[in-house]
Copies of this chain bind each other. A is one copy, B any other.
């Protein structure tokens, strides 16, 4: 199937990935992980909720953790639209498309719209948030990996082509994608609104599920430091994959699992993709592998992800067969 065409005059103006909302079993353990180890700033907290932001963020939160007595899950991922008018346009657009849409009140956010995309992924849009001090040069507040700001989400979905078409129809641009050698199937699509390669990424697997939320860190130094600090804090096993270098997106990365199994990516940088002549970059599966100097990710990195509350995952037509660490070790190939 062909790559969808970009839409330069979208129905409403989404500006960027904004925040993720997840449930956790023990806020104190989550705080140790996110605040003491990763270095997030606490914007607000009470006995049921922890609102976190990166040091370079002036918005109230980019990560919301809610206490649950049930299974930890992802509740929703949030996007920003530019104006309140864009919110109204979004409502109209989703309604017209016959997709779920609902106005809700969310603490510390402006008027908020809950929607689901055609894959069933629960999304919320808002135009504004409460403003907090940007602590990017308040160095006495910098700890751990010094997370700067949220950058993107990755969702696992059973139909990447469909996700790609829908989000591109909203004005998202395809920066890069991975396909099997010699085929057109989309295995990974990297979609963006804010002018760097990713705001939302879709990968083929049972879903919709939240694979990870990604936050930028200042320098490669912090990628190694956060692993070292994790080991000192007894959290070595929470380092799941990396540090390593991505093909698509081009960043150095490390993935960690939080105490409830939610996955966080820390990465160091991104290039800019704003210009209209920037065509989507295709990566053949085999080329991405050729450039890989780190060990492949464990199988769990491909298969485990946070379920969205109330959304039953569905299987893709074809299950992928990625080069996992397990396969690499067993088959002795590289």
Contact = CB atoms under 8 A, between A and B. Distances in A.
A275 B334 CA distance: 43
Given A58-B278, A274-B194, A220 B229 contact: no
A80 interface: yes
A15 B194 CA distance: 11
B139 A229 contact: yes
Contacts of A330: 329
Interface residues on A, range: 35 or more
Contacts of A45: none
B225 A139 contact: yes
Contacts of A139: 225, 228-229, 231-232
> Considering residues A137, A194, A234, A236, which has the most beta carbons from chain B within 10 angstroms of its beta carbon?
A137
B232 A137 contact: yes
Interface string A34-63: 000000000000000000000011110000
A139 B234 CA distance: 12
A250 interface: yes
A172 to B, nearest CB: 15
Interface string A251-292: 010000000000000000101111111110000000000111
Contact of A295 (B131, B232, B295): B295
A138 B224 contact: no
Contacts of A218: 269
Interface in A183-231: 194-195, 218-221, 223-225, 227-231
Nearest to A273: B58
A194 to B, nearest CB: 6
A148 B277 CA distance: 19
Given A137-B232, A220-B221, 16 more contacts: A15-B275, A16-B195, A82-B276, A129-B277, A137-B291, A148-B269, A149-B271, A219-B220, A224-B252, A227-B245, A231-B245, A236-B293, A237-B334, A239-B294, A295-B295, A329-B329
Interface of A: 8, 15-16, 56-59, 80, 82-83, 127-129, 131, 134, 136-140, 148-149, 194-195, 218-221, 223-225, 227-234, 236-237, 239, 243, 245, 247, 250, 252, 269, 271-279, 290-295, 298, 325-326, 329-330, 334
